[in-house]
A = this chain, B = another copy of it.
Amino acid sequence: MQLTGNLLIGQESAFGSNGSIKAVNAATGAAIEPAFGGATLADLDRACALAWAAFDVYRETAPEARAKFLDTIAQNILDIGDDLIERCMIESGLPRARLEGERGRTVGQLRMFADVVRNGDFLGVRIDPAQPERKPLPRVDLRLRHIGVGPVAVFGASNFPLAFSVAGGDTASALAAGCPVIVKAHSAHPGTAELVGRAVQKAVKDCGMPEGTFSLLFDSGRDVGQGLVKDNRIKAAGFTGSRGGGTALMKLAAARPEPIPVYAEMSSINPVLLFPAALANRGEAIAKAFVGSLVLGAGQFCTNPGLVLAVDGPDLDKFIAAASAALSETAAQTMLTPGICKTYQGAVERAGEHAGVTTAARGVEAKGANQGRSALFITTAEAFRTSHELQEEIFGASSLVVRCPDLATMLDLVESLEGQLTSALHIDEADYAEAKRVLPALERRTGRLLVNGFGTGVEVGHAMVHGGPFPSTADGRSTSVGSLAINRFLRPVSYQDLPDALLPDALKTDNPLGLNRRVDGKLQLAK
């Protein structure tokens, strides 16, 4: 499939005139064709106007029609075939198997949201029937449903060029909620973005959705990203990236005449707590699994295990020795972009030079440009407590082991941690009592707690929370992965005494959509 470098604004396809960008071969650093034209503010305005015009129609599409649209996007992505994987490999430096898996996940989550739309529970229908005889005042008829918040701006993520970019989780959940989407493509994978964007654009047409349901913009600077968050027709934004980028968007959104929510996923070091019995019984096996998780995808996961807390002693020594041995054999891996690689190398260098830190092991030296060499560091509880910079995420395959003098100190350190996407406990049965003591502190700062595993590998399901208190995300009240993510783009609306003729189908008395409903506070299943 031939790339054009064009902006996709509704059903249009035209080259942007606000500068241009080219993708870079992640492995070599060489620019690759074609150029992608950056959107002007006029392009942005047109995309927003189309999205706004589409909103009222799109949000009232029948469940089956909207579900079919999501399924069609999934199929159209598959129909691109290997061109998508090959372009994405070059742009991201990620290997084929990973990207084929990620494509499966992307398609899977679009289909999951199609099922969520068909199921209809996301509408959260509540009915409090009228009580005309109630004293002293009759009770009105009240019915509630949720509607989309409005057009949503989605920022493509560098580290998931398929699953968190043009047709990724944010786009899928926003479209499922009934919100038109304008995507700002990530500059690291514009070709991948165009291919997927055309698949979505075609699905809009195939399914007869309103033209402005989807647009894709390239940004040669910051005009588009900032402009989207400031535009009064955009009612929410989804972002995955750096803490600096995310907090900048949060500030822009809060400063609008009408502030809007920004769902920014930013930074997490995903503490791993090793408890004494598990460490004694299985320390070396845990060490190997830990290194496997750490270097997966060159460590470029939000859920990468960047921190290990454990009680000092011979068992921890053995763990460190085993982890060091495993890590020192790991090959350097191509990182997503030269910029990310450079930032990683700088951060690892600073960590290694930190007065309170020693280097336990480094991976095999890089053989090519733009490769990240893994790193394992050790520090003391005291140094960790007093050096806030040791809590900062290093995006890449680097982790820090904190030697704690005792379990109480380890549990204390947990209370000094910022918000996290995941926290992992490695425990055997003898550890349960101590683990139980630390759970409340972990729950308060974590979106997903896990036992005897690592946070990498985020299951796309109904019970997943991929989110957590600030700064892991902008706001821990939601998830970006899994079916619960649809809630981020919904708001409740109540209808009082509307005649059936004016009620939306979801709220009509004879329940034409066959929805589960909460009647007078009690859940009633449709079937």
Contact = CB atoms under 8 A, between A and B. Distances in A.
Enumerate the 6 nearest inter-chain pairs by beta-carbon distance, A residue then B residue, closest first. Answer: A465-B494, A450-B496, A142-B463, A126-B463, A56-B440, A144-B463
Interface of A: 55-56, 60, 115-116, 119, 121, 126-128, 137, 139-140, 142-144, 147, 149-150, 250-251, 254, 258-259, 261, 418-419, 429, 432, 435-436, 439-441, 443-444, 446-453, 457, 459, 461-465, 467, 469-471, 474-479, 483-484, 490-499, 501-502, 516, 518, 520-523, 525
Contacts of A115: 521
Contacts of A439: 502
Contact of A259 (B60, B444, B474): B474
27 contacts: A56-B440, A121-B518, A126-B484, A128-B461, A128-B462, A128-B463, A128-B464, A143-B463, A144-B462, A144-B463, A150-B444, A258-B469, A258-B471, A259-B470, A432-B502, A436-B502, A443-B493, A447-B494, A448-B493, A448-B495, A449-B496, A453-B496, A462-B521, A477-B492, A478-B492, A483-B521, A484-B492
Contacts of A441: 56
A501 B147 contact: no
Nearest to A477: B491
A516 to B, nearest CB: 6
Nearest to A498: B451
B447 A492 contact: yes
Contact of A119 (B470, B477, B521): B521
A467 B492 contact: yes
Contacts of A150: 444
Contact of A142 (B128, B443, B461): B461
A68 B124 CA distance: 27
Contact of A446 (B440, B449, B493, B525): B493
Contacts of A121: 518, 523
Contacts of A484: 126, 144, 492
A461 B496 CA distance: 12
Question: Which of A250, A429, A479, A498 has the most chain B CB atoms closer than 10 A to its own CB?
Answer: A498
Nearest to A422: B496
Contacts of A116: 521
Contact of A499 (B440, B451, B461, B483): B451
A461 B476 CA distance: 27
A231 to B, nearest CB: 15
Contacts of A447: 492-494
A450 B141 CA distance: 10
Nearest to A142: B463
Given A447-B493, A453-B496, A144 B464 contact: yes
Contacts of A471: 258
A261 B475 CA distance: 8
Contact of A144 (B465, B493, B502): B465
A92 to B, nearest CB: 21
Contacts of A440: 56, 60
Contacts of A523: 121, 516, 523, 525
A452 B60 CA distance: 24
Contacts of A502: 432, 435-436, 439, 451
Contacts of A520: 461-462
Nearest to A465: B494
A456 to B, nearest CB: 12
Contacts of A128: 459, 461-464
A49 B493 CA distance: 37
Question: Which of A444, A478, A492, A493 has the most chain B CB atoms closer than 10 A to its own CB?
Answer: A492
Contacts of A261: 475, 477
A259 B450 contact: no
A476 B490 CA distance: 9
Contacts of A459: 128, 139-140, 142
Given A451-B497, A465-B492, A523-B523, 14 more contacts: A128-B461, A128-B462, A139-B459, A144-B465, A144-B484, A251-B254, A261-B475, A451-B502, A462-B521, A465-B494, A469-B491, A477-B492, A516-B523, A523-B525
A443 B439 CA distance: 42
B443 A465 contact: no
Contacts of A418: 258
Contacts of A464: 128, 142, 144, 494
